[in-house]
């Protein structure tokens, strides 16, 4: 069955997902769904001690996004209305596979699949790839206190995890369109013509 476009913007921390999703939402007049950051009670503690807090944090993100996705399904997808999101639910697994170990990782995997397997997934993914220097620069420019403690090695691993995950998603879901964007070279914030090219590409995909 054909359904309305469900667009997700993805990429590692600080790649520009919220920025690009917001710009596209305005330009294309499509409602935006944003992830919850400031109200997250575990992020600060997590960055201070990943092993201690990872399970609580990953479960918090999963429950939150599960609820958002359920609502999105009712409000938009089931009614064939377009929507753009600054994340894909799959990011839960990308992060959790990196931050959890042993039995907790195994339990998390099972819960992730139970909760999300039957929910609608984005049919278009704008995947912003960016190198470590770009991400570190953008994260520091954004200036969230709790992110000052991010270990560059953790960020570098996530860059690689994202590449692996997107390749695997493309194999599992050949119908999903993945548009790679080189976030270290393409600057959709400072260069309107570069943003216009991305917006035109998305317009063409959803027509």
Ligand X SMILES: Nc1nc(=O)c2ncn([C@H]3C[C@H](O)[C@@H](CO)O3)c2[nH]1
What residues make contact with ligand ATP under the rule CB under 6 A?
11, 13-19, 86, 138, 141-142, 187-190
* 37 binding ligand X? (CB under 6 A): yes
86 binds, among ligand X, ligand ATP, none (CB under 5 to 8 A by kind): ligand ATP
Minimum gap (Å) between residue 189 Cβ and ligand ATP: 4
Q: Which member of 86, 133, 151, 161 is catalytic?
A: 86
Report the nearest approach of ligand ATP to the CB of residue 200 (Å). Answer: 17
Torsion of Cα atoms, 13 then 14 then 17 then 23, to 10°? 170
- The Cα 202–Cα 185 span in angstroms is 19
CB count, 10 Å around CB of 71? 11
Q: Binding of ligand X at residue 88 (CB under 6 A)?
A: no
Nearer to ligand X, 9 or 198 (CB): 9
Residues 50-69 that bind ligand X (CB under 6 A): 57-58, 61
DSSP-derived secondary structure letter, 173: -
- For residue 40, the minimal CB distance to ligand X (Å) is 7
Residues 188/16, Cβ–Cβ less than 8 Å: yes
What is the token pair recorded at 58? Answer: 């990953």
Catalytic annotation present for 86: yes
Contact of 13 with 135, CB cutoff 8 Å: yes
In whole angstroms, what is the distance from residue 184 CA to residue 133 CA?
Answer: 9
Binding letters toward ligand X, positions 123-142, x by CB under 6 A: --------------------
Least Å from the CB of residue 99 to ligand X: 5
Closest residue to ligand ATP, judged by C-beta, is: 16
Q: Which residues, 6+ apart, have CB-to-CB distance to 195 below 8 Å?
A: 23, 27, 188, 189
Q: Which residues are catalytic?
A: 86
């Amino acid at each position: 069955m054909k359904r309305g476009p469900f667009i997700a913007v993805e990429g590692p921390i600080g790649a520009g997902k919220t920025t690009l999703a917001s710009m596209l939402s305005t330009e294309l007049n499509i409602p935006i769904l944003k992830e919850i950051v400031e109200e997250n009670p575990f992020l600060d503690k997590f960055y201070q001690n990943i092993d201690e807090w990872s399970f609580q944090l990953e479960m918090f993100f999963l429950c939150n996004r599960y609820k958002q996705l359920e609502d999105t399904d009712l409000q938009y997808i089931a009614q064939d209305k377009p929507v753009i999101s600054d994340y894909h639910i799959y990011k839960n697994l990308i992060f959790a596979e990196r931050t959890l170990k042993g039995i907790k990782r195994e339990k998390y995997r099972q819960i992730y699949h139970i909760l999300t397997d039957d929910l609608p997934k984005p049919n278009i993914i704008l995947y912003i790839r960016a190198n470590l220097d770009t991400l570190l620069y953008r994260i520091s420019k954004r200036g969230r206190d709790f992110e000052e403690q991010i270990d560059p090695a953790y960020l570098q691993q996530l860059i690689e995890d994202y590449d692996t995950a997107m390749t695997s998603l493309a194999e599992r879901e050949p119908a999903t369109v993945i548009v790679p964007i080189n976030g270290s070279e393409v600057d959709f914030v400072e260069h309107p013509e570069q943003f216009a090219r991305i917006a035109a590409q998305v317009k063409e995909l959803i027509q």
